[in-house]
Amino acid sequence: MLAQLDRLLAVESLSTVRLGVIPWRRAVPVMPRHGFSLCDREAVVVETFRGERVLADSSDVTAYEGTFSRFEEAATFGSDVRELLLQVMKDFRALGDDSATR
């Protein structure tokens, strides 16, 4: 987990990347039923338990863009996301320290 968080920190520092993270205690605007990836406003890849589907109908893409925007509004970016990731790493390390002393 620490390696993954460290990688997120490295990627976040790239000028071509905008990383957003929704903090644990922040309410999410909608409950996600499945994962999805927006592809250049041309399509959306919807991930389900049984596979994935590519939706290219403009109304489908627009609906998923709206859902994404709601998550984006709840997310933290920039220096705030760096601070959040560093705090999560610190908390995760502390969990290891607690289990070592038991």
pLDDT by residue for the chain (102 residues), tens digit each?
899 999 999 999 999 999 999 998 998 888 888 999 999 889 999 999 999 999 999 999 999 999 999 999 999 999 999 999 999 999 999 988 655 444
Of 97, 74, 92, the residue nearest 27 (C-alpha): 74
Q: Please give the structure tokens belonging to residue 35.
A: 């994962």
Question: Which element (helix H / strand E) includes 82?
Answer: helix 78-100
State the residue range of the domain holding 23: 2-100
- Residue 98 has a pLDDT of 56
- Residue 101 has a pLDDT of 45
Number of domains in the chain: 1
- Residue 97 has a pLDDT of 65
Q: Is 90 helix (H, G, I), strand (E, B) or coil?
A: helix
